[in-house]
Structure 1
Amino acid sequence: MSLTLYYHPLASYCHKVLIALYESGTDFERRIIDLADAADSAELQVLWPIGKFPVIRDPARQRDLPESSIIIEYLDRLYPGEQRLLPDDWQTALEVRLWDRFFDHYLQTPIQRIVSDRLHATNGDLTRERATLETAYRMLERRMASRIWVASPDFSLADCAAAPALFYACTLLPFPDDYQHLSAYFDRLIQRPSFQRVIDEARPWFSLYPFADDIAQRFRQPSGNP
């Protein structure tokens, strides 16, 4: 029995898990959940009453796991690829977890608030959210001046978190022109076959994203990856 991922192809936290699955080459089945559909929502709530995706079901171990970071740690321990996404070295692993949290809290959270404001036409004051993104960009520009990947010598959980966060963030607040290190890091992320595959799968759903017109042209054409 294979794993089943309950997800949506447009959702950034689902992208994070998909990147990890594609990096490891783990086989899994897909169950797309439309939260606007009552039956789909009810099915998801049976697995995780909070009603948010992603959730992964592992029939072999009788486990249903929510939360993208937890899912990736689980996969990395029990279904690892050739390269681990959580290093064995404790100090490096701590850095990976820290920067994973950084992307989720300080990019994904303000992104979701800005997107929700547009979806619901609430016209709220988003000054704080945009300021948080600006601060995160500054921190990343400094951090990436001497690094290839954000938290480990190798691609890690933190980079799985970075790719979708930065993809959506730059549709809301483009990177400053002089942030060369941040831009170069993002370019490395989007060149990963795992992330290119995620974007290829998300492309048919782009029109549902309220800032679809701000998605860069380079993401609008298929990558050519299988």
Structure 2
Amino acid sequence: MKLYGHTFSSYSWKGLIPFYACDIPFEFRMIDQDNPANAAFVQQAHPAGKFPVLRDDGTVIVEATAIIEYLAATQAKGAGLIPAEPRDAVTVRMLDRVFDNYVMGTAQLSVNAHITDADNPDPAMIEAASTGLLRAYRWIENWLGENIFPAHVSLATCAAAPSLFYADWVERIPEDCPRLAALRAELLALPSVSRCVEDARPYRSYFPLGAPDRD
């Protein structure tokens, strides 16, 4: 299997974590100026030219969530990515959407504002990111107070780890969300996630808001 992406990309992390955690053989194909053929393949394979994209012989899977679902369905080592119990499976899929849409997606508002105009980012977009992230953080904090986060490594882990890593760079997890802060630390300590953090380290200067001197 070949996974196309970039080691600094949050959604590439989401696709990489299950391969690392489940020890599934694959080849990572970097999308950068040194590998134009990889970029050309992604542009052809994905409806919006985005990565990650997985190619498994004649099968092409786009979108990180679908890639994880594919690994869970086709790889014996990846069976635990989606719980066998239907209600537990619903929970990890729900959390996947929460972290993608309301954590990573909301953080991206601020990132996009800085990409568009680094010197004068749109204050409305910055405020929307801050407000939206704090709301999402507190929802997850409350959820963690009443539920147990699914066992690692599941689809929920794969979504939460990169989302919380980068979102915390945009808007720090506040002190009134200790469970969420603890979850972030727990996720970053997982070997599969730590590997992504280290592989991305050379590219931190790319972060539009300026990468903090931590993590």
Q: Is the TM value for this pair above 0.5? A: yes
Q: Is the 2:6–2:12 Cα contact (8 Å) retained in structure 1?
A: yes
Structure 1 counterpart of 2:205: 207
Structure 2 counterpart of 1:223: none
Structure 1 counterpart of 2:97: 101
Q: Which amino acid aligns with 1:140?
A: I
Specify every segment of 5 or more residues in structure 1 that has no aligned partner in the other structure, as ranges: 220-226
Distance 2:207 2:176 in 1: 28
Deviation (angstroms), 1:43: 2.5
Structure 2 counterpart of 1:176: 174
Structure 2 counterpart of 1:137: 137
| Correspondences of 1:45-124 after superposition (within 5 Å) | 45-59=43-57, 62-81=58-77, 84-121=80-117, 123-124=121-122
Distance 1:35 1:100 in 2: 31
Q: Aligned match of 1:13 in 11, 16, 34? A: 11
Q: CA RMSD in A?
A: 2.0
Aligned CA distance change for structure 1 residues 8 and 159 (closer, same or farther; 3 Å): same
In structure 2, the residue corresponding to 1:206 is in which secondary structure?
A: helix
Q: Which amino acid aligns with 2:61?
A: L
Q: Is the 2:204–2:211 Cα contact (8 Å) retained in structure 1?
A: no
Aligned CA distance change for structure 1 residues 205 and 86 (closer, same or farther; 3 Å): same
Q: Aligned match of 1:32 in 16, 27, 30? A: 30
Among the aligned pairs, what percent are the same residue? 35
Aligned CA distance change for structure 1 residues 191 and 50 (closer, same or farther; 3 Å): same
Q: Which amino acid aligns with 2:44?
A: V
Deviation (angstroms), 1:129: 2.4
CA deviation string 1:49-70 (max 9, x = no partner):
42000000001xx101000000
Distance 1:194 1:84 in 2: 15
CA deviation string 1:128-178 (max 9, x = no partner):
2221111111011112225552xx345410111000000001101101123
Q: Is the 1:24–1:83 Cα contact (8 Å) retained in structure 2?
A: no
Q: Is the 1:144–1:185 Cα contact (8 Å) retained in structure 2?
A: no
Structure 1 counterpart of 2:157: 159
Deviation (angstroms), 1:30: 1.2
Q: Is the 1:24–1:80 Cα contact (8 Å) retained in structure 2?
A: no
In structure 2, the residue corresponding to 1:212 is in which secondary structure?
A: coil
In structure 2, the residue corresponding to 1:64 is in which secondary structure?
A: strand
Distance 2:162 2:171 in 1: 14
Distance 2:38 2:191 in 1: 30
Specify every segment of 5 or more residues in structure 2 that has no aligned partner in the other structure, as ranges: none
Aligned CA distance change for structure 1 residues 139 and 35 (closer, same or farther; 3 Å): farther
Aligned CA distance change for structure 1 residues 117 and 38 (closer, same or farther; 3 Å): farther
Deviation (angstroms), 1:25: 0.5
Q: Is the 2:102–2:136 Cα contact (8 Å) retained in structure 1?
A: yes
Structure 2 counterpart of 1:128: 128
Aligned CA distance change for structure 1 residues 203 and 154 (closer, same or farther; 3 Å): closer
Deviation (angstroms), 1:34: 2.7
Distance 2:12 2:39 in 1: 16
TM-score, normalised relative to structure 1: 0.86
Distance 1:112 1:69 in 2: 18
